[in-house]
Structure 1
């Protein structure tokens, strides 16, 4: 039986768009299914590591934003910074990144279909995906694809449909959420600042010459304004600045999966499992996964993606899990003092995650 498309990508966020572009560059026909219209936004820190910039340039995408030269950790009394060696990052408004990737996807011939995936049925040679679209007057249409890449985010519906979610009782860590808002003012630094408050981390990312993003990470129920208002070193910059975006949230952040491959369906990006946004390298890892997933399809060896996924996410999973564990422990207050006492170790960790 003939298929409608070689690769069906579920999810039109940055990783889904990157995966679609990768597949088109390999000569495959590609359709993206996404229920939302326009550039997609998300509550995140919006800093792209040098490795993420390299991955984007390789597929022909050059995002425009504000230079990110490194990271700084700060608390009320101490600070430490590390500037990247061998490359720079870029702070990019998520909607601007989406626009740049969308333009490149159209340029290389990716097709788009609006709708929500509601069923996934596999055979030995293809996958049949049921899609509910507004234009179908609430009827379901079906597309047959040789492969499906599920890039539909933290709460992946495809992951649920194919039974790769790990039950919630097997996820032992505390629930953490992110909140983000933008302010109209000139950035005062070319670093991503991470302010370590008593119970939250506050990320400050320059994303344009006149725009700064502020994001919090912490337990449910955070009062965003109260938390950032309690950080005096941050308030001296934000005082009087105009908020120019609505407060947006995401979470819970921790997501686990049984595995990343089920037949002809591969989980890519946040849908494949997520630890936390604390180290700021989610997109770098997601773009690497997109490349490896498409390479596995080219080889017609989807199982090879499992080992590639493990290799490309190992540092992220280990270092981020360790840092989140420390942040949630009685030793949380020692993080910035330890980093400032051992700047070489702090720099080595940042550099490892940024590559």
Structure 2
């Protein structure tokens, strides 16, 4: 019997596997996809996430991010990160770095899906493997979470995200959030000659239709070669609890509000570390409390911004208010992980 079985080999699952190996535990990761795995992602890592990656011994190559800038036409509000930079990095580059670190530490990565989960008071069995603990990091629409009955109904008006890359030299070292009455566009420099542009909205329509709502951005990208579009959603995922016996949910599987603040990777890394700490100490109930504390500021800030962006009239006020109250905007940015 091994110590930890991880369902899902994305950033959260691999981070959990690395933490477990650094704690001296035996680990197997079950993942159906071949590395490196790509998916719709804003690809900005907040400063706390960069620190967390380095603590894992992971160095991913990308573009340094100096802060966050809100844009609406001629209006701009920006807040530099206070102590250290963030990182714009291709999802595949980040995944490769985490994958290689896990392999180098002796993590076994098995192709396949976890499927049915069976528990006893002392063990959990899935994918034909018996372990003392199962960490479920199988994404936004986690099959493990669903099978264990941990989901709660989501909103009927969910938000969706679409992402594409453009081969153009980055014009900023900030994450730019362009606002409109119907959604946002996020511009993240991720490599030399490459920017990622993600759009988020409650309105379901094609990527180009969304981008047309941001004329200045459309002009900046005109003529640039573009990659295929990847999508994700609905983004809101409500969870009854994150611990069920010997199963702990981490990353997006543990519940998700929205990608609006760009904290997904940082929170995935933080919750993975907290879950492993609960396993190592034999006190998984602590993880539920730790998850609540780790994500509280993110959940409060994201819900406040979602409420403001929920109607065109109020969405148009976000950038003007940020311009008039730069101290408040900076404080909100500094509250991000």
Contact 2:72 / 2:178 at 8 angstroms: preserved in 1?
Answer: yes
Alpha carbon RMSD of aligned pairs, Å?
1.0
Contact 2:176 / 2:187 at 8 angstroms: preserved in 1?
Answer: yes
**Residue number in structure 2 paired with 1:278:** 260
| 1:325 counterpart = 2:311 | no
CA distance in 2, matches of 1:294, 1:241: 43
| 1:233 counterpart = 2:230 | no
Q: CA deviation at 1:223?
A: 2.4
Which of 155, 158, 166 lines up with 1:175 in the alignment?
158
SS in 2 for 1:347: helix
| 1:223 counterpart = 2:206 | yes
Contact 2:38 / 2:92 at 8 angstroms: preserved in 1?
Answer: yes
SS in 2 for 1:317: helix
What does residue range 94-105 of structure 1 map to in structure 2 within 5 Å?
94-105=91-102
| 1:301 counterpart = 2:310 | no
Q: CA deviation at 1:283?
A: 1.1
Runs of 4+ in 1 over 6 A off after TM superposition: none
SS in 1 for 2:109: strand
Report how many residues are paired: 336
| 1:157 counterpart = 2:140 | no
**Residue number in structure 2 paired with 1:135:** none
**Residue number in structure 1 paired with 2:173:** 190
Offset from partner CA, 1:10-54 (integer Å, 9 cap, x none) = 001011100100000000000000111121111111000000000
CA distance in 2, matches of 1:301, 1:115: 29
Contact 2:4 / 2:26 at 8 angstroms: preserved in 1?
Answer: yes
| 1:205 counterpart = 2:205 | no
SS in 2 for 1:119: coil
Contact 2:124 / 2:133 at 8 angstroms: preserved in 1?
Answer: yes
CA distance in 1, matches of 2:203, 2:132: 40
| 1:257 counterpart = 2:254 | no
**Residue number in structure 1 paired with 2:12:** 15
Q: CA deviation at 1:172?
A: 3.6
Offset from partner CA, 1:123-161 (integer Å, 9 cap, x none) = 0000011x2xxxxxxxxxx11010000000110000011
| 1:60 counterpart = 2:57 | yes
Offset from partner CA, 1:237-259 (integer Å, 9 cap, x none) = 2111111x210000000001100
CA distance in 2, matches of 1:172, 1:19: 29
**Residue number in structure 2 paired with 1:78:** 75
Give unpaired runs (5+ residues) of structure 2.
none
CA distance in 1, matches of 2:217, 2:203: 22
**Residue number in structure 2 paired with 1:125:** 122
SS in 2 for 1:285: helix
Contact 2:155 / 2:236 at 8 angstroms: preserved in 1?
Answer: no
After TM superposition, the structure 1 stretch with the greater mean CA deviation from structure 2, 331-340 or 87-96, is 331-340
SS in 1 for 2:336: helix
After TM superposition, the structure 1 stretch with the greater mean CA deviation from structure 2, 251-260 or 72-81, is 72-81
Q: CA deviation at 1:229?
A: 2.9
Contact 2:150 / 2:239 at 8 angstroms: preserved in 1?
Answer: yes
TM value normalised by structure 2? 0.98
| 1:146 counterpart = 2:132 | yes
Q: CA deviation at 1:173?
A: 6.2
Which of 292, 297, 301 lines up with 1:310 in the alignment?
292
SS in 2 for 1:331: helix
SS in 1 for 2:117: strand
Which of 30, 35, 39 lines up with 1:38 in the alignment?
35
Contact 2:35 / 2:99 at 8 angstroms: preserved in 1?
Answer: no
**Residue number in structure 2 paired with 1:291:** 273
